[in-house]
Chains A and B, each alone.
Chain A
Amino acid sequence: MATYKINIDPSGQSAVFNPSTQAVDAGDQVSWTNNDSKPHWPGLLNPDGSFVGLVDRELTTSPPFNVSSVWSAPARVDSNGNQISYTLTYVDRYDHNMQGIFQINPTP
């Protein structure tokens, strides 16, 4: 298993996930660090538009809660129970145009 850190960096009037695309393996751990002057909260948007955080709370603009807790990438399995690769797109709760992508691969 590996650990990955994703920065939330200011970019013009908005902010970006950096790196915006991250390849991980199922079970790997990911955390975010907010370097922006506004709070952010990475998560998923459900089909009905509701927000599901990847971590417990929003990331503040100053330590210690500008660093997130851990999110561990889930596996996706086919009908035989074998893990498959898939893509997961996440957004910032407060700016849905701010997107990041996980390319999630089977656990090696």
Chain B
Amino acid sequence: MSDNETRREFFNRTLGAASGIALTGLFREASAQQPPQFCPAVPNATAATAVPYPGGAMPQVAGPGREISRGADGILRATIAVMGEPRSVWQAQANTATSNGFAIPACRTNQDMRYFAGYTADGAKVWPKMMGVPGPGPTLRARVGDTVQITLLNQVDPKEFALTLDVATEGGGHGCDTANTTIIDPATNVARNQQIYPMNDQAPDCFHGSSSANLHFHGFHVSPSTISDNVLVQVRPSPRDPKTNQPIVTEATVHAWFAQVFDAAMHGHGPQKWEDLPQGYRDLQKKYLQEYDTQVPGAQLWTSDEAAIAAGQWPQYYVGAYPNSFKITEYNQALTAHDQPLLPGQQAPKAKMGQAPGTHWYHAHKHGSTALNVFNGMAGAFIIEGEFDDQLNAFYRGKGPGGKGLTEQVLVIQQLGSQLNLLNAPQPNRAQTGTTKEQFVFVNGFPQPQMTMQPGEIQRWRILNLCTQVAIGFAGFQANGSPAPAGTFSWKQIAQDGVQFNWDNYNGPANSNPAFVMTAANRVDLLIQAPNTAGNYSLMVYHEPFPPGFATAPLLTIQVGGARVTDMAFPSEENQYPKMPEYLHDIDPKTIHIHREVTFNTEYFGNDGRRGLGPGRAQYPSIKPSRHTIDGKQFENQIIDQVMLLNSAEEWTLINTTQVNNIPGSGGSGATPLGYYAHPFHIHINPFQVIEIFDPVTMWEPRKFDKNFVWYDTIGVPPAYNYYPDGKRPRLDKDGNQVFVPGYVKMRSRFVDFTGLYVFHCHILAHEDRGMMQLVEVVSNETIQQHH
């Protein structure tokens, strides 16, 4: 940090650069069909004609006409198309700051971004409602036990996105996206080329192939294989008609074939191998994959698929369209051969774990492009309803404004932008550029939107942190610009990561207006009651990787007005609160037979390119991005790092040795931790219960839970710190040397119901793309072999 650089600027420069994420954002609400390639004159723009502006009315992303819901037959049918267009986006301006230190937004046009368009079974387009501005994908809604049938179309035009095909992964180069800039000597005017990216990143752990796509169903307890929650699949963009430039593979192309696949899967006979797919679809895929291999030097997509097919494995590469289908797992109901391969003569087992009804989500999850695609907005809410909702809604039936019961708000928090900042030119002399951006976040595509409640009204908020990087810490409310007096708003958390709280956790003293942090990918459900006093209130948040309690900014504002609601209260008796189902009870420690440790680490490099303290890439031109590892290594193709036994329970210790840098205190003041990088651990398919956590930045001792464990599917693993929480006492080893003490989380999980390959990873998605991921496999211990 230089003498004339403020602490805030230092944060911006170092932290913004560390992850590869352009920390910008903002979007939505335009006119009819054509993208509005202009930005509004803030604040006079109207929602009907321009890009939404800070403080405008919050658009809804759920409800009739705005979501794709299950049919009366218990089937959710949807088509999700990956598309692209130039969009207008609000971004944080470098070198600007409001009074609370957050950058002032500016609207920029010409942001090439991909997005999810949503269509119902009859082909009606549901989402997006407005073009030319970014935001989440369509909200999906189903019930436990329903069947999900999604046609994924990839209709991105690769010409619109600079060399983002996977041209190199299969042999066409170093395998990574490439960015260059030019250095011109001002004295001699001699220019030279300077590579910005990939530098020392190497395939497959680099940004690449962002025009490919797939779907991950985050928080779902379903099969990771074949056409279910299979993130190893990669769907290339459809070829385009040379005359019209329109995609050749459309929903109509695959409709009949996918109808066969969906019908078979629904009846327990979903595809287990390539030959189970319809002949026409297989022929089409073979044709286009072979064409792709011919077109792209070194590409071997069909060759790779052929090898997988010959080995009896599920092929990974597809073009244009892919069917996703699964049944939302219902506890104690029979699994099918589609869910889980059965041995000859074996009876279908009953599910040992049910899908928790709750607030879940879906997003693109192709390794190397997850960060950019989610940053573009390729993520959306997926709400699963069930007994929990039925019981909660029954409690509020006939109450509230107009007797309509409990109003639900789906609040999708996102970072939104078109570029990853590791591909932007850093500048000499620390000139501020795109690498120095604030953590600008949007709610339902809107910057600091405004919503309304009536005095005394209770609503259910489904909050989803779908940011690519930042954690959101809730820091209470302000009233008309000043800290709101205690009791203005009241709230209780009712679910974490889509899994309900039990009565004890709901009713405990810690759940009275709890302060909570949502790391990237976390969801929190709240019952929140508006104050009896009308007025404008702001929900304040802080953003990690700033340390806890750092400067706050409004996430959204709530205009409280209208008639006072007098008949709504929180459930106060156990029989008023939804019952915790058996499958969500605490995991019995006596069932744990295997303990594992996995260690997350980020390695930084200083200006001279050597390892050093502090996040961020070195100064230009000595650019060397940080390196993100698990157990000392980056993700490797074709290597399974952890193998778990089907239907077993394990205890894992998740360790984070990433060192928090700090500014030493002076005059008796404590050191200030910088770059609070809690790596968010996320594992697919099976949620887990947290039993112990230690954050050396904020805790003197580990916090242990003895019962009523909370379920998560993503948890921030705190970083290592070399001071005690007061920032004054250094942490010392036995020899008296100051040492970094790692943060950790202990969790228990059951690997039940589904075998197969899947992943766990850091949910700072640029870290995942750049190697902080492991492949795991759950295997069965059953065999047809006998020994007489």
Contact = CB atoms under 8 A, between A and B. Distances in A.
A55 B424 contact: no
A1 B418 contact: yes
Interface stretch (B122-130, B132-140, B175-183, B732-740): B175-183
A20 to B, nearest CB: 17
Interface of B: 22, 24, 91, 93-94, 106, 108-112, 158-160, 162-163, 165, 167, 177-184, 186, 188-193, 195-196, 295-297, 417-419, 421, 423-425, 427-435
A16 interface: no
Given A3-B110, A107-B94, A77 B429 contact: yes
B108 A4 contact: no
Contacts of A74: 181-184, 425, 427
Contacts of A69: 162-163, 177-180
Nearest to B183: A74
A27 B428 contact: no
Given A26-B433, A70-B180, A71-B181, A1 B427 contact: no
A108 interface: yes
A81 B431 contact: yes
Nearest to A63: B295
B429 A73 contact: no
Interface in A87-106: 88
Given A2-B108, A2-B111, A56 B180 contact: yes
Contacts of A28: 434
B175 to A, nearest CB: 13
Interface in A20-36: 26-29, 31, 33
B163 A68 contact: yes
B423 A81 contact: no
B434 A1 contact: yes
Contact of A29 (B94, B195, B419): B419
B423 to A, nearest CB: 6
Contacts of B106: 108
Contacts of B162: 3, 5, 29, 31, 67-70
A82 B664 CA distance: 30
Contact of B423 (A2, A26, A70, A77): A70
A52 B431 contact: no
14 contacts: A1-B24, A27-B427, A29-B162, A29-B419, A29-B424, A46-B189, A47-B190, A52-B191, A67-B159, A69-B178, A70-B177, A71-B181, A72-B196, A77-B428
**Residue of A1, A31, A108 contacting most chain B CB atoms (<10 Å):** A1
Judged by DSSP, the binding face of A is loop
A54 interface: yes
Contacts of B421: 1
B424 A27 contact: yes
A81 B429 contact: yes
Contact of B190 (A1, A3, A46, A77): A46
Contacts of A107: 94, 427, 431-434
Interface of A: 1-5, 26-29, 31, 33, 44, 46-48, 52-56, 62-65, 67-77, 81-83, 88, 107-108
A67 B158 contact: yes
Nearest to B112: A3
Contacts of A68: 162-163
B182 to A, nearest CB: 6
B490 to A, nearest CB: 41
Given A54-B180, A69-B177, A1 B424 contact: yes
B109 A70 contact: no
| Nearest 7 interchain pairs by C-beta | A31-B162, A72-B425, A27-B434, A69-B178, A27-B433, A70-B179, A1-B434
B36 to A, nearest CB: 15
Given A26-B431, A72-B181, A54 B193 contact: yes
B618 to A, nearest CB: 17
A101 to B, nearest CB: 14
Nearest to A26: B433
Contacts of A88: 182
Contacts of A77: 427-429, 431
A31 B419 contact: no
A108 B96 CA distance: 9
A27 B111 CA distance: 13
A3 B182 contact: no
**Residue of B183, B193, B417 contacting most chain A CB atoms (<10 Å):** B193
A108 B183 CA distance: 21
**Residue of B423, B430, B433 contacting most chain A CB atoms (<10 Å):** B433
Given A69-B178, A72-B180, A52 B158 contact: no
Contacts of B296: 64
Contacts of A82: 431
A81 B177 contact: no
Nearest to A81: B429
Contacts of B425: 26-27, 72-75
Given A26-B425, A26-B427, A26-B433, A63 B193 contact: no
